[in-house]
Amino acid sequence: MLPNVSGARAMLDEMLLARIEIGHMRFMARDGTLAADMPDVNFLQKTDLIHGAQLGVVIGGIVGLGAGIFLTMFPPDGFTLRTAAILLVALGGALFGGWASGMNAAAVPNTRLAQFADRIEQGQVLMIIDVPVRRVQEIEEMIAKRHPEISFGGIEPPMLAFP
């Protein structure tokens, strides 16, 4: 958390000097306070869309699997359903669940960033940097040396690009 927008601008310059590309930095501040040339958080980072879609895929897949098993055990009159129907209904349930839950979660603020909401409303700026794990300690030490007033929010676990 940075104390204000001018501090965020200075930190942006310092991160660029530390050879962190601007595409790997994001800032979150009160609406309208961040400079236009500073990278703002995107829609996926502001909302709970990803988490909601993941949860919907899991729940939809489980419900679809149950519905597929039920339809196979008790088929409608005149139909003979095979085992592949179970997988198709489970896949359909997962797709529908992911879509429906994702649409709902798009209207919900990101739950991981909720802990910073009060300080952002007070005028502080959240800085999010994506760096390799091996550089985290180096960057934190550099920031702490130059700006001891800045607080660190933690490290997110690494995410695979293609799970």
Residue-wise pLDDT tens digits, 32-88: 788 888 888 888 888 888 889 999 999 999 999 999 999 888 887 777 778 788 889
Does pLDDT of 161 surpass 50?
no
88 part of a folded domain:
yes
44 part of a folded domain:
no
Does pLDDT of 159 surpass 70?
no
Please tell me the total count of domains within the chain. 2
Query: 115 or 103, which is more confident?
Result: 103
| Cut 0.75: pTM above it | no
152 part of a folded domain:
no
- Could you tell me which of 27, 10, 13 has the C-alpha nearest to residue 128? 27
- In the 8-state DSSP scheme, what is residue 25? E
163 part of a folded domain:
no
Question: Do 96 and 115 belong to one domain?
Answer: no
**What pLDDT is stored for residue 3 in this prediction?**
83
Q: Read off the pLDDT of residues 7-26 as tens digits, 9 standing for 90 and up.
A: 888 888 888 888 888 888 88
34 part of a folded domain:
yes
- Could you tell me which of 26, 37, 33, 36 has the C-alpha nearest to residue 4? 33
List the domain range (segments joined by +) for residue 100. Answer: 49-105
126 part of a folded domain:
yes
Query: 159 or 41, which is more confident?
Result: 41
Question: Do 15 and 56 belong to one domain?
Answer: no
For residue 2 the two structure tokens come to 């940075």
79 part of a folded domain:
yes
Question: Do 58 and 86 belong to one domain?
Answer: yes
Question: Do 56 and 101 belong to one domain?
Answer: yes
162 part of a folded domain:
no
Whole-angstrom distance, CA of residue 139 vs CA of residue 136: 5
- Could you tell me which of 160, 37, 147, 52 has the C-alpha nearest to residue 108? 52
